[in-house]
């Protein structure tokens, strides 16, 4: 059966998703099957109630993500960090809408009024060093939050699967807390899962939110498999991981772009 643009689009609509980025090129009569399957996989992931993507609808988030990706802009490290920080602020605001609130009396110079305020501040966690700008953006909004820091990194060895080493963990008490774990690039998801499981030594959170600037469908699927209770918040969902486990189209190495190349 020949796969045409109309077939491809009807499959996406059948899965109830109209905001998935379409990679159809009119001059190509037949799309490669693997690309279609990846797009359908993304569509099915986006049906999950626990997955939220800022750029699924047009907003200022599109501008911040575009500048993070743009090779003519991203090498300005100050601007790169600021765009990650802005995304962290937007994601924090969206997450805040789902948190528990309670009525509080507020005394003004003229009267007493009631408003709804957070029942408790969340705990903000991030993976050093790439996660710091997004973490700072979230801390701008959750400015009374306690923090948890993790040192984890990928070890790339030939002819083996990607390995993750975790060498540092400084955590506050997480028992019955709301945990927000921020990392700019959700690639394989293994660093986030390993970090989260390490944090469980300090208590079981009552809610878990994972926030990333850009994610791959493979990474999202892995998080949903390993941490099914997590709510996932993204700036953008990309197409796939390449053979080196980097997100495509992605943006490159977020840590190096924010803080300089490692030696």
pLDDT tens by residue, 213-229: 999 999 999 999 999 99
DSSP code of residue 253:
-
**pLDDT score for 49:** 80
**pLDDT score for 263:** 82
- Domain residues for the domain of 174 are 50-259
Over 90: is that where the pLDDT of 77 sits?
A: yes
Do residues 175 and 236 share a domain? yes
Q: Which of 16-30, 96-110, 132-146 has the lowest mean pLDDT?
A: 16-30
CA 4 to chain centroid, in Å, comes to 32
Q: pLDDT tens digit string along 148-194?
A: 999 876 666 554 555 666 678 899 999 999 999 999 999 999 989 99
Percent of the chain with pLDDT over 70: 76
10/33 Cα distance (integer angstroms):
15
Do residues 142 and 235 share a domain? yes
Task: Indicate the number of domains in the chain.
Answer: 2
Average pLDDT, the chain: 84
Q: Which of 2-6, 65-69, 111-115, 244-248 has the lowest mean pLDDT?
A: 2-6
16 to 3, 20, 22, 41, 229: CA distances (angstroms) = 19, 10, 14, 12, 23
49/229 Cα distance (integer angstroms):
11
Q: 116 has which bridge partners?
A: 103
Do residues 42 and 142 share a domain? no
Q: pLDDT tens digit string along 29-65?
A: 334 445 444 555 555 555 568 999 999 999 999 999 9
Q: How many CB atoms lie within 10 A of CB 179?
A: 23
**pLDDT score for 167:** 75
Q: Stretch 235-260: mean pLDDT, rounded?
A: 94
Do residues 35 and 146 share a domain? no
Domain boundary among 13, 28, 47: 47
**pLDDT score for 45:** 56
Do residues 43 and 147 share a domain? no
pLDDT tier, 17 (very low <50, low <70, confident <90, very high otherwise)? very low
Please answer whether residues 106 and 114 qualify as being in contact, where contact means their C-beta atoms are separated by less than 8 angstroms. Answer: yes
57/48 Cα distance (integer angstroms):
17
Task: Considering only residues 9 and 201, tell me which one the structure prediction assigns the higher pLDDT.
Answer: 201
Q: 115 has which bridge partners?
A: 104
Closest CA to 37 of 61, 64, 12, 18: 12
Q: Which of 23-27, 73-77, 123-127 has the lowest mean pLDDT?
A: 23-27
Q: Which of 13-17, 107-111, 177-181 has the lowest mean pLDDT?
A: 13-17
Do residues 42 and 143 share a domain? no
Q: Stretch 89-113: mean pLDDT, rounded?
A: 98
Do residues 205 and 111 share a domain? yes
Do residues 56 and 160 share a domain? yes
Over 50: is that where the pLDDT of 14 sits?
A: no
Do residues 1 and 124 share a domain? no
**pLDDT score for 15:** 33
User: Which residue has tokens 């899962």?
Assistant: 193
Do residues 82 and 124 share a domain? yes
Residues 6+ apart with CB under 8 A from 232: 50, 51, 52, 186, 209, 210, 211, 212, 215, 220, 223, 224
The upper half-sphere exposure of residue 187, i.e. CA atoms within 13 Å in the direction of its Cβ, equals 21
Over 60: is that where the pLDDT of 241 sits?
A: yes
Q: Stretch 93-115: mean pLDDT, rounded?
A: 98
CATH number at residue 191: 3.40.50.2020
Do residues 96 and 81 share a domain? yes
Q: How many CB atoms lie within 10 A of CB 137?
A: 24
Do residues 66 and 39 share a domain? no
């Amino acid at each position: 059966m020949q796969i045409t643009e109309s077939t491809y689009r009807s499959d996406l609509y059948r899965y109830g998703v109209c905001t998935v980025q379409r990679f159809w090129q009119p001059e190509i009569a037949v799309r490669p099957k693997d690309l279609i399957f990846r797009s359908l996989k993304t569509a099915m992931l986006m049906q999950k109630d626990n997955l939220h993507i800022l750029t699924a609808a047009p907003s200022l988030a599109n501008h911040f993500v575009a500048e993070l990706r743009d090779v003519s802009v991203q090498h300005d490290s100050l601007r790169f960090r600021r765009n990650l920080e802005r995304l962290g602020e937007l994601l924090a605001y969206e997450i805040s809408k789902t948190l528990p609130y309670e009525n509080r009396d507020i005394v003004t110079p003229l009267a007493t009024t009631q408003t709804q305020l957070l029942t408790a501040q969340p705990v903000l966690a991030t993976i050093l060093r790439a996660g710091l700008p997004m973490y700072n953006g979230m801390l701008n909004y959750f400015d009374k939050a306690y923090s948890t820091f993790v040192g984890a990194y990928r070890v790339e060895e030939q002819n083996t699967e990607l390995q993750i080493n975790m060498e540092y963990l400084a955590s506050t008490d997480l028992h019955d807390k709301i945990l927000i774990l921020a990392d700019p690039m959700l690639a394989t998801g293994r660093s986030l899962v390993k970090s989260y499981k390490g944090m469980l030594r300090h208590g079981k959170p009552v809610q878990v939110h994972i926030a990333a600037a850009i994610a791959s469908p493979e990474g999202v699927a892995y998080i949903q498999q390993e941490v099914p209770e997590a709510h996932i918040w993204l700036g953008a969902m990309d197409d796939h991981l390449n053979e080196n486990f980097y997100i495509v189209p992605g943006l490159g190495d977020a840590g190096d772009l924010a803080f300089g190349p490692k030696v």
